[in-house]
């Protein structure tokens, strides 16, 4: 009897959970396209140390797709994840509201050996939470096994509940309001 250990809030959260396992063929066409983009970009992965290629694809509100792949480092600790690369690419392209992110990983020495969903690491969850809160969306996260046999559909709210972010600091709209000032400052500098 474990149920009594759960608070009413926890039980309510579980009741509305949208976490689900889904087969690739049962996904909407747009999600399949996004996952294929994430898989395709793993060709560019720089992963000599782990031998594990990860790709991420972000779909923004504009409908555009922004991709990224992991970029490892000999010092290991400063290795960049695919999700960081994809979100940074979206931001660089002026895409500030994210609808969905797809993540996929595989061991390229044995391409079909990873049959479990590759979910975002802790740091990446924090980064997704930032763009989710600042963009006002509960970003959907599609975590995929390298062989596409196992896909986990969740939201960032489920992967990182009660996240600390701009909302915690009352700053959700702060950057939206500031962005025109930033652009004006750049324009002024360019005129010098």
Residues that bind Zn ion (CB under 5 A): 81, 121, 124
Structural contact between residues 90 and 127, judged by C-beta atoms closer than 8 angstroms: no
DSSP state of 5: G
Going by C-alpha positions, the residue among 162, 166, 164 that lies closest to residue 178 is 166
Structural contact between residues 155 and 139, judged by C-beta atoms closer than 8 angstroms: yes
Q: Which residue lies nearer to Zn ion by CB, 30 or 51?
A: 51
Q: Which residue lies nearer to Zn ion by CB, 81 or 141?
A: 81
DSSP state of 153: E
Please report how close the Cβ of residue 26 comes to Zn ion at its closest, in angstroms. 27
Please report how close the Cβ of residue 17 comes to Zn ion at its closest, in angstroms. 23
Q: Which residue lies nearer to Zn ion by CB, 49 or 186?
A: 49
Catalytic one among 8, 14, 72, 83?
Answer: 83
Please report how close the Cβ of residue 168 comes to Zn ion at its closest, in angstroms. 21
Please report how close the Cβ of residue 55 comes to Zn ion at its closest, in angstroms. 12
Known active-site residue 72: no
Going by C-alpha positions, the residue among 142, 90, 135 that lies closest to residue 119 is 142
Report the residue closest to Zn ion, judged by CB: 81
Q: Map residue 18 onto helix, strand or coil.
A: coil
Q: Which residue lies nearer to Zn ion by CB, 39 or 124?
A: 124
Give the DSSP H or E segment for 84: helix 82-92
Residues linked to residue 60 through DSSP beta bridges, in sequence order: 98
Q: Which residues belong to the active site? A: 83
């Amino acid at each position: 009897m474990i149920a009594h250990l759960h608070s009413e809030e926890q039980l309510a959260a579980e009741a509305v959970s949208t976490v689900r396992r889904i087969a690739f063929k049962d996904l909407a066409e747009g999600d399949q396209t996004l996952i294929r983009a994430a898989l395709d970009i793993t060709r560019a992965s720089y992963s000599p140390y782990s031998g594990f290629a990860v790709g991420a694809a972000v779909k923004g509100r504009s409908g555009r797709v922004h991709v990224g792949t992991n970029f490892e480092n000999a010092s290991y600790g400063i290795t960049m994840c695919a999700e960081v690369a994809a979100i940074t690419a979206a931001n660089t392209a002026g895409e500030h509201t994210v609808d969905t992110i797809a993540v996929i990983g595989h061991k390229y020495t044995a391409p079909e050996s990873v049959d479990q969903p590759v979910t975002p690491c802790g740091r990446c969850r924090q980064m997704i939470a930032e763009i989710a809160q600042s963009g006002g969306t509960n970003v959907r996260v599609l975590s995929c096994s390298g062989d596409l046999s196992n896909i986990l559909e969740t939201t960032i709210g489920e992967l990182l509940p009660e996240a600390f972010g701009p909302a915690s600091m009352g700053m959700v709209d702060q950057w939206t309001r500031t962005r025109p000032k930033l652009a004006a400052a750049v324009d002024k500098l360019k005129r010098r």
